[in-house]
Amino acid sequence: MRVHRVILALAAAVLAWSGGVAAADTAPPLKVVATTGMIADTARAIGGSAVTVTALMGEGVDPHLYKASPGDVRVMTGAGLLLWNGLHLEGRLGDAITKLGSRVPVVCVTDSMPQDQLLRSAGAGSAPDPHVWFDLALWRFACERIRDAIIERKPDAADEVRERCAAHLALLDTAARHVQAVVASIPAERRLLVTAHDAFGYFGRANGISVRGIQGLSTDSEASLREVNALIDVIVERKVPAVFIESSVPRKAVEALVEGCSARGHAVTIGGELLSDAIGAAGTEQGTHVGMVVHDAEVIARALGGNAPARPAVLAAWLDVAGGRAP
């Protein structure tokens, strides 16, 4: 009888214990909503199973011109953590996010970046360049900000999230070195990157290539004829072999530039499509932040006469998984 009672007590204890474990295991992941694919991908890489991540802007979407739909507002309102780029990247969507700030936990992933590392187009007083994801060393600050924001709301996952973040920072270092080597393979006199808008300032600074965009830092204003003609002068003078379209910007302006150069007797080709303000399709390597930067560097190098050296093994393996070529 006594033994029976002990067994019953033990069974009850085991049930209570397993119930407790089950509750911890099934604790719902943190609902993260990110404005851009670059931020969403980084949050997925760092958050792992502790988060579910939704990106508001998909493949080919221009963040400068994006307006929040009623559906977006519902998704943002239901977020456990809302991540955005700030620095005026999101244009009107940024206004909507600022208004939500009192109701939803909102974190701006660029707000811990040192001010003196931000690029400004015209002197210290002007607005900073928002395209910070193209400087993989500077993007560390975004990773750490995302890590801390997840841990604050999901302390039970702190160890996993810290480990994943450290691994991701190591990957960014490897990718940064590879991208530098890729750009360095372009003959020095050909290191001029001409694109649809000024998204590649940080890419240029990090990798030693001059950059010129037809439109400015945002796509919300048209380039003047005078500016386009000045750019044609530079391309003709420096015999630039290729210019580039961007997946999130209409290609018309770049095609007009090619025609303008042709009329001046200089044949310039479209060297490929770059991913500037939006990552590529889900399930491809370009559908990740690291993959987009590597893809762009390799497309640019090949079109400008470089040879794009082989990817380091660690990076190649990671991109194979991202691109669905390896489990």
User: For residue 315, what are its two tokens?
Assistant: 């990076």
CB of 133 to Zn ion, least distance (A): 10
Stretch near Zn ion under the rule CB under 5 A, chosen from 4-12, 151-159, 197-205, 299-307: 197-205
- For residue 108, what are the contacts with CB-CB under 8 A and spacing of at least 6? 83, 84, 85, 86
Of the pair 172, 199, the CB lying nearest Zn ion is at 199
Judged by CB under 5 A, does residue 199 bind Zn ion?
A: yes
CB of 299 to Zn ion, least distance (A): 18
Of the pair 135, 277, the CB lying nearest Zn ion is at 277
Q: How many CB atoms lie within 10 A of CB 310?
A: 10
In order of 174, 288, 317, the CA distances from 321 in angstroms are: 16, 11, 6
Q: Where are the alpha helices (DSSP H) in the chain?
A: 2-25, 37-47, 70-77, 91-100, 139-153, 158-184, 201-207, 225-237, 252-263, 289-303, 313-322
CB of 197 to Zn ion, least distance (A): 6
Stretch near Zn ion under the rule CB under 5 A, chosen from 8-16, 185-193, 251-259, 276-284: 276-284
Instruction: Tell me which H or E stretch contains 213.
Output: strand 210-215
Of the pair 91, 241, the CB lying nearest Zn ion is at 91
Distance CA 69, CA 324 (A): 31
CB of 213 to Zn ion, least distance (A): 9
Stretch near Zn ion under the rule CB under 5 A, chosen from 42-50, 151-159, 198-206, 295-303: 198-206
Judged by CB under 5 A, does residue 41 bind Zn ion?
A: no
Judged by CB under 5 A, does residue 296 bind Zn ion?
A: no
Radius of gyration of the chain (CA): 23
Which three-class secondary structure state does DSSP give residue 163? Answer: helix
Judged by CB under 5 A, does residue 277 bind Zn ion?
A: yes
Stretch near Zn ion under the rule CB under 5 A, chosen from 164-172, 184-192, 272-280, 284-292: 272-280
Instruction: Give contact residues for Zn ion (rule: CB under 5 A).
Output: 199, 277
